[in-house]
Amino acid sequence: MRASLQWLAEFIDLPAEANLVERLTLGGFEDVEITATGPDLSEIRVGRVRECTQHPNADRLSVCKVEFGDGEPVEVVCGAPNVAADQKIAFAAVGTKLPDGTVLKRAKIRGVVSSGMICSSRELELGDDHDGILVLDPDAPLGAPLPEVISGSDRELEVGITPNRGDAASLIGLAREIRALFGGDLRAPETDPPETGPAAADAIRVEIEATDDCYRYVARIVRGVRAGPSPGWLVAKLAASGIRSINNVVDVTNLVLLEFGQPLHAFDLAKLRGGTIKVRRAVAGEKLATLDGEARELSAEDLVIADSERAIALAGVMGGANTEVGDATTDVLIESAHFHPGRVRLAAKRYGIQTEASYRFERGVDRLGVQRAADRAARLIAELAGGEVATGSVVAKGAAPTVTEEIRFPTDRANKLLGTALSKQEMAALLERVGVRCASSDADELVCAIPSHRIDLQLHQDLTEEVARIYGYDRIPVTEPMGLLRGVERPRLWRMAECSRDALVAAGLIECQTLPFLNADWLAALQLDADDPRGRAVRLINPIREEEPLLRTTLLPSILRLVQQNRSRQLGRIEVFELARLFRADGAPSRWGPSLPEESLGLAAAIAEREERGLWEAPTLLPLFFKLKGIAKKLLDQLGYVAWFPSASLPPYLHPGAAAAIEVGGVVVGSIGELHPDVASAFGLDVGCAVMELDLEGLVVLPQQQVRFHKVSRQPSVRRDLAVVVDVEQPAGEVIEAIRKTGGKDLISVELFDRYAGKGIAKGRTSLAFRLVFQRYDRTLRDEEVTKTTDRIVKMLAHRFKGELR
């Protein structure tokens, strides 16, 4: 809501600007600001047309002699039909900067030199009317800057209004708030119209068919009006609130809307058929051309205003072109009504239009303010556009809305909720400031009468908020809550996620977070099996990007795209991970409820081959797989699990020769591996990339390994190195396992320290070098004991793996 401060001051005395902004801000209004945002009209002056004569060479032009305070009167050519001698007008002298930024020059128009311009509201950016000039109040002081004589073009107050406070979306609404916060007296505008014409009821009947959608409909009639340009003050007031001037009749309805917050509509009575106004639901498919020039096909859900034949307005939203008030209009019907907020909101949403009227109806207007607004509009139209106000109004009534008129307010509970110790009298005084009348019942209770414009006040808690708001939230004490001290434990999955992050960060990876949206092609690129549940994803109805309508079932596409994007940023080191929810759409039962997709916490990591090493450090040449395997092993260690990496259950997007499952206690909980080259190229990756996936939810239900102390030996250990040549296909893990078994309990460690194929080794064979360490707790091992065991190992290797000592 935007309004001229000068105009607001007509309704209540205003405090200093800074004070006003602060209190309104603390009192519940958002983004409160006072600005000078209107067009800069300070160089435009009040002038007077001394003489007005016909232009010698043009029928439609006049030549005016204009005086504007100091200096000689000047001669000006004017094209407006409404210019006349003795008018006070807005005058721009030669050299004046106009609102559009141009500087006015002397010009010769059809042979007459024009030394200035008599401005229309359009040229001043106050309205759309450019047929006529802006005519000022005859009392306006000659030569004064224009902003001094038309209110509203200087300082504007802008406030954001929360959805519950539709009652504040008017000048009187704001003035009421200012009274609540600062005190003072409201000055209400005059409303009584001079009823001199024949009875309105003779001209029109009003019927409410949709009684649930319309509580009240008031019609007033003004006959014999002259629709035309509005006076300057009216144009300026509307402009300050962001409404452009149309003509004096329509402008009055908008002015009253701004004053009272009650939307009005003016119909051309002559265009109304059958002398009837009907408030009814539209017939599905019924057509209405609205005032914005759109031809609309209506729904049976829409509430319309109709005459005896057709719809003439979309109720509460916008009028129809078929009954529009124009220059030729003489008789006007003014509608002031109370429509159902939800009904108006539905229509405004369906047609995607928000108008000043629909905005207010949606939030609920004062049910007792309907008549007052109609009266005020009739009075002003008669005043500004002439004409005769018909006697009485035609009123129709629908079903009364449910309203709260009285609330019993337990003041002790208000104190208990706020943590304050306000007396009943203090609370009553605070509530009276917002117009709630309080009577005392028993010791701790006030009986509160709710003003009709405050439809948001329904519960005693709502009144507690009013008390707090007017008292000031900042004056409520600051205390610490009391209650039982209880230890809290973070959920196990939460701890596991945190521990995973720490382990991966310690391994040098960077944590990323990405949007959960997937393109179907990315999912397809993973070449999942037909029965893989990850192939079916939850679909968004309104995705942010049409091509990414799915919620992710796997983190892989997100993380591979991230690797690719960082490659294209030419980064040399891309080692990343992400933890996020995954969504399943395969009908798996969800812990969150039957209609919801199951969600689980997924973890994925990716490392890309590094292009450059540290400039002077020796590179490590281990394949990516082993780097990631080391990371995975450490991660699971940290989580408290002993992991195995068998080459079974491999996902199809991994390189079949460089991948392994992650298995804990016989359960597959993830996978690691280098990316299948086809998948890599589908994601535009031009370097090797290894990925890890871990199902944290699958893991969290498995028992963790207890950390147990095992004693350390004081006896010396014996070390033996052993190189054995085996078949190149022979998995080294099996050889290590066999050595460990054969070595018995004295063999405390087996480590592979070299793997070599090439010169000196037969084709198809590879040399594995192991370091064996023997040690006992009770005594020193003798050399011959160790040799005996080693010999047994060598024999076993020869027998089982065709291993030859090297």
Partner 1 sequence: MPAGVDNLERLEEEACREIAAAASLQALTEVRARYLGKKGSVAEVLRGIGDLAGDQRARIGQLANSAKRRIEMVVSERRRALERGQRDRTLGAERLDITLPGAEEPRAGHLHPVTRVFRDMVEFFTSMGFSIEEGPEVETEYHSFEALNIPKLHPARDEQDTFYVEGGNALRPHTSNVQIRTMTGRTPPFRFIAPGRVYRHDLSPRHYPMFHQIEGFLVDERVTFADLKGVLHAFGRHLMSDDIELRFRANHFPFTEPSAEMDYGCLLCERKGCGICSNSGWIEWGGCGMIHPQVLENCGIDPDRYQGFAFGMGVDRTALLRYGIPDIRLLFEGDLRVLEQV
State in angstroms the smallest separation of the CB of 288 from partner 1: 22
Task: For strands 575-583 and 510-511, give the pairing.
Answer: parallel
DSSP 600-634: EEEEEEEEEPPS---TTSPPP---HHHHHHHHHHH
- Site membership for partner 1, residue 489 (CB under 8 A): yes
Q: Strand 62-67 to strand 74-78: parallel, antiparallel, or no bridges (unpaired)?
A: antiparallel
> Pairing between strand 214-223 and 388-391?
antiparallel
Q: What is the 3-state secondary structure (H, E, C) of 395-435?
A: EEECCCCCCCCEEEEEHHHHHHHHCCCCCHHHHHHHHHHCC
We find the least distance from the C-beta atom of residue 114 to partner 1, in angstroms, to be 45
Residue 177 CB, shortest distance to partner 1, in Å, is: 11
Spatial contact of 631 and 507, defined as CB atoms under 8 Å apart? yes
Is residue 543 a contact residue for partner 1 (CB under 8 A)? yes
The position carrying tokens 């005020």 is: 376
Of 225, 448, 504, 685, which lies in the binding site for partner 1, with binding defined by CB under 8 A?
504
**Contact range with partner 1 by CB under 8 A, out of 259-267, 328-336, 339-347, 399-407:** 339-347
| Binding residues among 438-477 for partner 1 as defined by CB under 8 A | 456, 459, 461-462, 464-465, 468-469, 473-474, 476-477
Contact between 88 and partner 1 by CB under 8 A: the answer reads no
Locate 642 and state its tokens.
């002993």
Closest approach of partner 1 to the CB of residue 165, in Å: 7
Instruction: Name 725's Cβ contacts closer than 8 Å, sequence gap at least 6.
Output: 761, 762, 765, 766, 767, 768, 803, 804, 805, 806
Q: What are the CA-CA distances from residue 59 to residues 50, 54, 56, 652 (Å)?
A: 20, 7, 8, 87
Q: Does 402 bind partner 1 (CB under 8 A)?
A: no
Q: What is the C-alpha separation between 387 and 252, in angstroms, rounded? A: 14
Q: How far is CA 760 from CA 294, 500, 756, 767, 805, in A?
A: 89, 45, 10, 10, 13
**CA–CA separation, 665 vs 646, rounded Å?**
12
Q: Which of 339, 583, 653, 770 binds partner 1 (CB under 8 A)?
A: 583
Per CB under 8 A, the list member of 565, 649, 715, 787 interacting with partner 1 is 565
Q: Considering the rule CB under 8 A, would residue 533 count as an interface residue with partner 1?
A: no
Nearer to partner 1 (CB atom), residue 437 or residue 573? 573
Residue 633: CB minimum distance to partner 1, A: 15
Q: What is the CA radius of gyration of the chain?
A: 42
SS (H, E, C) 326-379: CCCCCCEEEEEEEECHHHHHHHHHHHCCCCHHHHHHHHCCCCCCHHHHHHHHHH
The 757-776 contact track toward partner 1, x by CB under 8 A, reads --------------------
Stretch of 72-80, 322-330, 535-543, 636-644 lying at the interface with partner 1 (CB under 8 A): 535-543
For partner 1, the binding residue among 613, 719, 782, 802 (CB under 8 A) is 613
Task: Please identify, using beta-carbon distances, which residue of 265 and 552 lies nearer to partner 1.
Answer: 552
- Listed ranges 83-91, 130-138, 256-264, 415-423: which one lies at the site for partner 1 (CB under 8 A): 415-423
| Residue 640 tokens, joined | 């408290």
Rounded to the nearest 10 degrees, what angle do helices 411-418 and 424-433 cross at? 90
Of 64-72, 307-315, 316-324, 595-603, the window that binds partner 1 (rule: CB under 8 A) is: 595-603
Smallest separation, CB 34 to partner 1 (Å):
13
* DSSP reduced 3-state for 466: helix
401 residue type, one letter: P
Counting contacts by CB under 8 A, is residue 596 touching partner 1? Answer: yes
Q: What minimum distance in Å lies between the beta carbon of 35 and partner 1?
A: 13
Q: How far is the CB of 565 from partner 1 (least distance, A)?
A: 6
Q: How far is the CB of 495 from partner 1 (least distance, A)?
A: 10
Q: How far is the CB of 405 from partner 1 (least distance, A)?
A: 19
* Nearest residue (CB) to partner 1, 330 versus 590: 590
Cβ proximity to partner 1, 479 vs 706, nearer residue? 479
Six token digits for residue 394: 């035609």
Q: Which of 299, 258, 251, 215 is nearest to 4 (CA)?
A: 258
d(Cα 483, Cα 467) in Å, to the nearest integer?
27
Query: Which residue, 103 or 571, is less far from partner 1 as judged by CB?
Result: 571
**Which residue from 66, 98, 574, 635 is in contact with partner 1, where contact means CB under 8 A?**
574
C-beta of 514 vs 742, nearer to partner 1: 514
Q: Does 363 bind partner 1 (CB under 8 A)?
A: yes
Which residues, at least 6 apart from 504, have a Cβ–Cβ distance to it below 8 Å? Answer: 511, 577, 605, 631, 635
Query: Is residue 188 involved in binding partner 1 (CB under 8 A)?
Result: no
Judged by CB under 8 A, the residue of 72, 595, 706, 779 near partner 1 is 595
Residue whose CB is less far from partner 1, 102 or 513? 513
Question: Is there binding between residue 639 and partner 1 (CB under 8 A)?
Answer: no
CA 521, CA 505: separation in Å to the nearest integer?
Answer: 31
401 contacts partner 1 (rule: CB under 8 A) = no
Q: Which of 296, 364, 388, 375 is nearest to 336 (CA)?
A: 375
Q: Quickly tell me which residue has 């609370």 as its tokens.
A: 427
Least separation, in Å, of the C-beta of 178 and partner 1?
15
Size of the site for partner 1 (CB under 8 A): 94
103-162 residues in contact with partner 1 (CB under 8 A) are: 162
| Least CB distance to partner 1 at residue 514 (A) | 6
Identified binder of partner 1 from the candidate list 44, 238, 576, 726, rule CB under 8 A: 576
The closest of 551, 482, 492 to 520, measured between CA atoms, is: 551
Q: Give least dist CB 497 to partner 1, A.
A: 10
Min. distance of Cβ 705 from partner 1 in angstroms? 24
Closer to partner 1 by Cβ: residue 52 or 468: 468
Contact 213, 340 (CB under 8 A): yes
Any residues with CB less than 8 A from the CB of 560 and at least 6 apart, and which?
606, 675, 679, 683, 685, 689, 691
345 scored as a contact of partner 1 (CB under 8 A)? yes
Closer CB to partner 1, 585 or 796, in the complex: 585
Residues in 157-186 that interact with partner 1 by CB under 8 A: 162-165
507 near partner 1 (CB under 8 A): yes
Number of CB atoms found within 10 A of residue 757's CB: 15
**Residue from 601, 792, 590, 578 nearest 695 by CA:** 601
The answer for residues whose C-beta is within 8 angstroms of residue 788's C-beta and 6 or more apart is: none
User: At its nearest, how many Å lie between partner 1 and the CB of residue 669?
Assistant: 21
| Residue whose C-alpha is closest to residue 336's, from 256, 394, 262 | 262
Q: Which of 82, 299, 391, 514 binds partner 1 (CB under 8 A)?
A: 514
Comparison of 102 and 570: residue with beta carbon closer to partner 1: 570
CB 612 within 8 A of CB 635: no
For residue 617, how many C-alpha atoms fall within 13 Å in the half-sphere facing its CB?
6
551 lies in the binding site for partner 1 (CB under 8 A): yes
> Which residue of 391, 566, 749, 780 would you call a contact of partner 1, by CB under 8 A?
566
Tell me: does residue 593 bind partner 1 (CB under 8 A): yes
Nearer Cβ to partner 1 (267/517): 517
Query: Token match 């224009």: residue?
Result: 146
Residues 9-28 that bind partner 1 (CB under 8 A): 25-28
Contacts of 173 (CB under 8 A, 6+ apart): 167, 261, 453
CB of 640 to partner 1, least distance (A): 20
**Interacting residues with partner 1 between 27 and 46 (CB under 8 A):** 27-28, 30
